[in-house]
Structure 1
Amino acid sequence: MTKNELQSESINEAFSKELINTSLDLTIDYSEVALDSVLSDNITSEIPIVKSIVSLGRLGISIKQLHFTKKVLCFLREFHSRNLTSNFSEFKQKLITDHKFKYKVTEQIILIIDRLRTEQRSVLLAKLFLGHIQEKYDWETFCYFSECLDSMQPVDIDILGYLSTKESDEIENIAIHSFDRYMLLGSIERLKSYGFVGMKGLTWISTADDFKKEAFISSLGVIIYNAIIS
């Protein structure tokens, strides 16, 4: 086994232990910890998963690793701050006894967290993962939602929330807080490409009439929206 493989195994093991019994202080909002003090702050520097991330640095910790550390802490805080059901006990037991399952789960989540651009998306990822544990959707659906998450924008969530209260509505009537109308249109197209929003009356109309198209939230859109606002 190579040095990189040993390091990868170390961080996977540390992360899986944090999923089972966290060493985090859940009263702390880790997103508020300054990036340049993530490791110097005694609150975080002694957390085992943080030590494992630091061990990956050869010539010192990088900005990317500091950001990754914050995202991991935010994910774990959200994950353990929720009211967990009996499904969590079953998940934890499988994580302990099934090594193949453990590494599939931890590696996938670590890779996703590394790719996410913000701590807030890491919090949303934790909510999506909990939805899977609670058997609201299967592993493949969780992975798909995770792929969509990093390119979703706050306006997308606002639009899903608005459409969840309507059977459908013309795009120009969607009432969300001050966004440029073309950002609104772009968001609808993005959500449509994910399968979270559908369109009515898709007969050909001129580009100038795009805002008169009717949008509605799909069943898949309802599922992801309910998961991330839970």
Structure 2
Amino acid sequence: MNNDELQNETINDAMYKELINSSLDLAFEYGEVAVDSILNYDVISELPIVKSIVALGGIGLSIKEKHFTKKVLCFLKEFHSKSSSENIMDFRNKLNTDQVFKDKVTEQIILVIDRLKTEQRAVLFAKLLIGHIQEKYDWETFCYFSEFLDLIQLIDIAVLSDLFIKSSNEIDNIAVTTFDRYMMLASIERLKLYGFVVVKDLAFIGPSDEFRKQAYISSLGTVIYNAMKV
């Protein structure tokens, strides 16, 4: 592909081509490359999707654009690592034959990856997409889960894991020992806001009473946890 062709290709088209047929070296650890040196590796700089991002970015990429590139690569590596997933061929065939579907999918992927803060969140995003492809939840639920990725912290996954194993637990007994107790309350509030956790006795009495309340993982929380832990 020459420079003129690259200039005419949108990032959505580049993403579509990568979803259909990977050009990545799946053995390469894209997440371990420093953002400011992301284009210094031949295995990265020669990838068609990276060339498209560079072409669209003009002369030189900003740190933000390099970070976007890194997130895209981490997302795609995780996506292609599940290339044998159930329904993946049907998904790719629909991308090939349904222009409206193709535009909807690629636009959602680009928009979400662009706003995500870290490449770790981009990996989780790929897992959520695979869950949708496997028909574990519909498109609207996938988009809802994607919004949560803007807020999610590592403690949130640990809390969901504890509640998934035990079904419910007193907040003070949730086995996430590496975090401050008040970070635990903040995590519970985030998860409750999105409907992933339910807390018994929502009335506020006092700080110590907050930790004694019982937290339960909801059916929706179970679905997103199962998707992200795969």
Between 79-88 and 130-139, report the one with greater CA deviation.
79-88
- Alignment partner of 1:179: what SS? coil
Partner residue, 2:181: 181
- Hey, what does 1:130 align to over in structure 2? 130
Q: Aligned in 2, Cα 1:181/1:162: closer, same or farther, shift over 3 Å?
A: same
Residues 1:51 and 2:51 aligned together: yes
Corresponding position of 1:147: 147
Distance 1:215 1:8 in 2: 52
Q: What is the aligned-residue identity percentage? A: 64
Distance 1:174 1:119 in 2: 27
Question: Take 2:66 and 2:203, find their aligned partners in 1: how far apart are those partners?
Answer: 50
Shift of 1:168: 1.6
Quote the residue 1:191 is aligned against. Answer: 191
Report the alpha carbon displacement of residue 205 of structure 1 after superposing the two structures with TM. Answer: 2.6
Give the RMSD, CA atoms, in angstroms. Answer: 1.6
CA contact (8 A) 2:9 2:52 kept: no
In the alignment, does 2:215 pair up with 1:225?
Answer: no
Aligned pair in 2 of structure 1 residues 76, 10: CA closer, same or farther (>3 Å)? Answer: same
Report how far residue 85 of structure 1 moved.
3.1
* Distance of aligned partners of 1:8 and 1:223 in 2 relative to their CA distance in 1, 3 Å threshold: farther
Could you list the structure 1 runs, at least 4 aligned residues long, displaced by more than 2 angstroms after superposition. 6-9, 83-86, 201-208
Distance 2:95 2:33 in 1: 30
**2:87 partner SS:** helix
Q: CA deviation at 1:45?
A: 0.6
Corresponding residue for residue 3 of structure 1: none
Distance 1:7 1:125, change over 3 A: farther
Structure 1's 128 and 9: CA in aligned 2 closer, same or farther, altered over 3 A? same
Indicate the residue corresponding to 1:94 in structure 2: 94
Q: Distance in 2 between matches of 1:77 and 1:203?
A: 45
The alpha-carbon distance between structure 1 residues 181 and 204, as it changes in their structure 2 partners (threshold 3 A), is closer
Over residues 24-65 of structure 1, what are the superposed CA-to-partner deviations in whole Å (9 max), with x where a residue is unaligned?
000111001222221121011111110111112234210001
Secondary structure of residue in 2 paired with 1:94: helix
Q: 48-57 or 154-163: which moved more?
A: 48-57
Could you list the per-position Cα deviations for residues 102-123 of structure 1 after superposition, in whole angstroms to 9, with x for gaps in the alignment? Answer: 0110011000000000011100
2:200, 2:213 within 8 Å by CA — same for their partners in 1? yes
CA drift at 1:8 = 8.8
Structure 2, gaps ≥5 residues long: 1-5
CA shift, 1:7, in A, is 6.3
Give the TM-score normalised by the residue count of structure 1.
Answer: 0.93
Q: Which moved more, 1:123-132 or 1:204-213?
A: 204-213
2:10 aligns to what SS in structure 1?
A: helix
Report the Cα distance in structure 2 between the residues aligned to 1:156 and 1:217, rounded to whole angstroms: 12
Gaps (5+ residues) in structure 1?
Answer: 1-5
Alignment of 1:1-230 (within 5 A): 10-82=10-82, 84-203=84-203, 205-230=205-230
